[in-house]
Amino acid sequence: MSKWYPKSGRVIFHVDMNSFYASVEAAYDPSLKGKPLAIAGNPEERRGIVVTSSYEARKKGVKTTMPLWEARKLCPDLIVMRPNFDRYRRASKEIFKILSDVTPYIQPVSIDEGYMDVTECEDQGSPLDIAESIQSRVNKELDLPCSIGIAPNKFLAKMASDMKKPMGITVLRKRDLPSKLWPLPIGEMYGVGSKTAEKLRLIDVNTIGDLVRMDTYQLKSLLGVNGERLKNRANGIDPSPVDPDAIHEFKSIGSSETLPHDTVEDDEIKKLFRKLSRNVERRLNRKQALGQTVQITIRYYDRKTVTRSMKLPDFISKEDDIFNISMDLFEKNWSGEPVRLLGVTLQDVAERKEVVHQLDLFTYEQEASKEGLYQAIDKLTEKYGKNPFQAIHIEDGHQPKTSFQKDFLDDYQK
């Protein structure tokens, strides 16, 4: 079996669930199988948008982010359902449990996808055997389809998993790049958003192969360090590890400052809260992150310290939002004694691309023009689910209680 495993190098899987939300609903209610199904935030109103759809609906032209009125026009027999996030979360937990039976080296990326390093799984068979076993188990035990990319690194595994859907298994080796990867349109490359693709087309980079042939200096002039990074990936170079702890890289981002003197002056306090909120926003932007809980720290003249926090229904990142909530918390909890230090921290932090607004699918309609959220919704809503599926009891909760964030990716380990 060693012939299938490199003496130096890695074997990486990218496991990607197919049309996740719709697939979960069809697993829960088999009468939906084979029918055009769309999951949407507001089925009762024309202004609702499609979050994801079954492959039957896609064949009729129904696409993610499409207004419901347009989707129904294309597919008059379209079945539309509200999302059930509790159900999807339970399904995700069971999927990652199956993956963890193969290797402990798993890096969840979102509720419906993750990387696996199977380099040391030689005793379980060839990489293709392992991929087929995973795909079969997920399908038989949870009644859910998935696609798996097999490659020597994470980027190529991600690209491979997209090449055949649903229920595909694709091997992408470096020697396959000229025939399988480079002919693809530049907009299909993982890590290239619509704005970046537009910039690249202006310099005649229309395919991934064009990117490979482009001068590195010119790419860096256009895109900064990301230009060189994208070219390396197009050449099959991606040394990033499969890191099970990556989801813990940051859970909070904060800023605090000791005042030059103890104070009870409103203007001084507000000025410092404004500065701290601005610092938090800047750090969030640097990490391309959002947070859902605002916490303030108040240290008094006698060094007595208290913290108070508020969890929000949605993720935030803007200075004004952070400032207003921080001031509200301060005014409700300040004892009136002189203040020595103030701090503002945004907790329950998640990367922008991993965040899906649950109750606020309508908010998404207003923000869909923003590239980051557009891509996040497109990616995250294409996937996960679970079967209520055999041995798992699932409560029907029509409304999600908390927003999706990276915490749920830890569920399978509990």
Of all helices (H) and strands (E), which one includes residue 291?
strand 289-300
Which residues make up each annotated binding site for Mg(2+)? 16, 112
Task: Measure Cα distances from 3 to 28, 125, 127, 269 in Å.
Answer: 41, 11, 11, 67
Q: 113 catalytic, yes or no?
A: yes
| Helix runs in 46-153, H state only | 55-59, 68-74, 85-100, 127-142
Among residues 25, 113, 354, 382, the one annotated as catalytic is 113
DSSP state for residue 49 in the 8-state scheme: B
Taking only the tens of pLDDT, the chain with its 414 residues reads 556 777 778 999 999 999 999 999 999 999 999 999 999 876 665 557 898 999 999 999 999 888 899 999 999 999 999 989 889 989 999 999 999 999 999 999 888 999 999 999 998 999 999 999 999 999 999 999 999 999 999 999 999 999 999 999 999 999 999 999 999 999 999 999 888 999 999 999 999 999 999 999 999 999 998 999 999 999 999 999 998 877 655 678 899 988 889 999 999 999 999 999 999 999 898 888 899 999 999 999 888 889 999 999 889 999 999 999 999 999 999 999 999 999 999 988 887 766 644 434 444 444 444 444 444 544 554 444 333 333 333 333 333 332 333 445 555 555
For the stretch 187-209, pLDDT in tens is: 999 999 888 999 999 999 999 99
CATH 2.60.40.10 fits 1-174+353-414, yes or no: no
Of 69, 21, 19, 76, give the one whose Cα is nearest residue 42: 69
Pairing label, strands 79-81, 37-40: parallel
CATH 3.40.50.720 fits 184-234, yes or no: no
**Whole-prediction pTM value?**
0.65
Q: Which fold is adopted by the domain 252-348?
A: Dna Ligase; domain 1 (3.30.1490)
User: Can you give the residue ranges of every domain in the chain?
Assistant: 1-174+353-414, 184-234, 252-348
End-to-end CA distance of the chain: 33
Q: How far is Cα 155 from Cα 150, in angstroms, rounded to an integer?
A: 10
For the stretch 371-396, pLDDT in tens is: 444 445 445 544 443 333 333 333 33
